[in-house]
Amino acid sequence: MNKYFPHLAILSLLLFFAACKDLDTINESNPDRNAVLSTGADLEIVLGGGYVSWWQGVHGEHPVIGLSVAADAYGMSWGNFGAQRMGMEPRAAYNNRTTEDPDYRLVVENPWANCLSAVSSANDIFIAMDKGISIDDGGPQDQSVKAAAHFLRGVSWGYLGLIFDQALLADENTDIEAAIPFTDYPEVIAAAVAELEAGIAIAEALGDDFVHRYFNGLTLDADGFVRLSHSYAARFLAQAPRTLAENGMVDWTAVLMHAEAGLNQNFAPLADGKFWVSYQRYVFAEAGQGPFWARVDQRLIAALDPSQPARYPEVVALGEAPLSNPVATSTDARLASDFLFFANNNFPVERGEWHFSHYKHNRNITDPSFAGDGATSGPMPVFLAADNALLRAEALLRLNRKAEAITLLNLGTRVTRGQLPSLNASATADAVERAIFYERAIELLSTAPMGLWFDRRRIGARQDYDNVDALGGLQKGTPAQLPVPAGELRIHGLEAYGFGGPMDLDGIARVY
């Protein structure tokens, strides 16, 4: 796996630009850049490396495990991946300091550095092609490369916008001799969608001449690439809000347009045990890392079985009554098909009984076509067709087209996999919304990275840690976005800040 020095990511980005600003000039910090991009074949090699960087930055255990524990998707009290500290109750602020434990720092540093590295690779492609590096003299292979570079820049900026409060937008035309300002996340999201749309336009124009081979084990034709791009655009627009109020300001017409043109099958690159691995190896019950890692959070068990408490009792710490019956029951068939019961818990009591749960996610075993182990074999599903359908249903609901949203839900996984009763046409908008978010929590679990964190922050008010409900918002004090890594801020001469904790209960105001 590639290792980066995240606190130098901005400096590295600038050096990459300097290296490619003039391909006749050798940058002493990267003397092989000219050699790497000297032929048309090198374009695909560099671009492929950029895709690996993006994948590792967004789908790795840093930041996904820590943020998923913070979102009460999983319970895990181990110190790995920032899980214990991100899952403290009551929540603590993210302590953004260069002196912090390296594993904890990677929660912010890994997505930041890898997404910037991916953008740099895409920019290198455009700069090199502008200098005459070509595969087929501007033919379909060159155009396919350009579309893939736009996609890479789009999804990298998109996740920077979803995760961080601000980011750096620098393309092949950026003047590196001037200071590159930080850009707030709404503009980063807008830039990401524009990049995806640019790639879509190229692929649609190429038609049968388009090909994309940058996801391990997958080859996309124009239709597959266009659908995937539309789905990511819908995701970024819908999940960018940090609060319920911001959720009401989303351009739901744009979300609907993209979702209607989006995925009709699951997007799942294949694991290779080396570069293409995912956080899923730590959350599946019987994955490559064994059964000792994350459990399904008790809030989700309560969603499946409302008779269960949404917070695991603190029997030892507070003398609360234990669960009357740890075996959940549900009208949702997925409790039996997707989840595996464990009689015992394997987390230390002293680290917080709220991490406890009797269930792990087991869908990859009971449905082998769904996923492999997230490590060495099988598909790694990160954007389901069901996810796209739920984005479409939500957009319809927000646009006061409730009947269409109900029809779409009744045709979807709620009925086909969950075997739940169809929603009645007279269901209230609140009931439809709850059905949508229930599906997003249960059907999409262990797929879209950080998906429940993105959803909980926008669906409702923050909740007291000891009085949460199954499908409500984030706990009070949970960071709802991450800060620019402290090392990057220091390069810019700026003071480090964090989010969350008792001084920032909504998780969106900077804490210094």
% of residues, the chain, pLDDT over 90: 90
pLDDT at 210: 98
**pLDDT given at position 220:** 98
What's the N-to-C CA distance of the chain in angstroms?
A: 33
For the segment 423-437, the average pLDDT, to the nearest whole number, is: 98
Instruction: Read off the pLDDT band of 178 (50, 70, 90).
Output: confident
**Residue-level pLDDT at 264:** 98
Tell me which of 147-151, 172-176, 215-219 is least confident: 172-176
Alpha helices in 1-135 (DSSP H): 9-21, 33-36, 40-59, 61-70, 83-86, 102-130
How many other CB atoms sit within 10 Å of the CB of residue 505?
18
Q: Is a pLDDT exceeding 70 seen at residue 326?
A: yes
pLDDT tens by residue, 61-84: 999 999 999 999 999 999 999 999
- 450-490 pLDDT tens trace: 999 999 999 999 999 999 999 999 999 999 999 999 999 99
The domain locations on the chain are 6-277+483-487, 292-366, 385-443
Please answer whether residues 77 and 347 qualify as being in contact, where contact means their C-beta atoms are separated by less than 8 angstroms: yes
Quote the CA–CA distance of 122 and 126 in Å, as a whole number.
7
Q: Which run of H or of E encompasses 295?
A: strand 295-296
pLDDT at position 16 is 33
Q: What is the rounded distance in angstroms from the CA atom of residue 229 to the CA atom of residue 262? A: 7
| 183-196: average pLDDT | 98
Q: Whole-angstrom Cα distance, residue 284 to residue 292?
A: 10
Six-digit token string for 332: 């949702």
Measuring CA to CA, which residue among 65, 56, 152 is closest to residue 112? Answer: 56
> Does residue 321 surpass a pLDDT of 60?
yes
Each residue's pLDDT tens digit, 280-314: 999 998 765 556 899 999 999 999 999 999 999 99
- pLDDT the model gives residue 8: 33
Percent of the chain with pLDDT over 70: 92
C-alpha 438/C-alpha 435 separation (Å) is 5
Confidence of residue 401 (pLDDT cuts 50, 70, 90): very high
Q: By the 8 A CB rule, do 104 and 85 touch?
A: yes
Q: Which residue has the higher pLDDT, 339 or 37?
A: 339
Q: Return the pLDDT at 285.
A: 82
Residue 292: the pLDDT is 80
* pLDDT score of 34 more than 60: no
Residue 30: band (very low, low, confident or very high) from pLDDT cuts 50, 70, 90: very low
Is residue 13's pLDDT more than 80?
A: no
Q: How confident is the model at residue 175 (pLDDT cuts 50, 70, 90)?
A: confident
Fold exhibited by the domain 6-277+483-487:
1.25.40
Q: What is the pLDDT of residue 138?
A: 96
Q: Which pLDDT belongs to residue 288?
A: 56
Asked if the model's pLDDT at residue 6 lies above 70, the reply is no
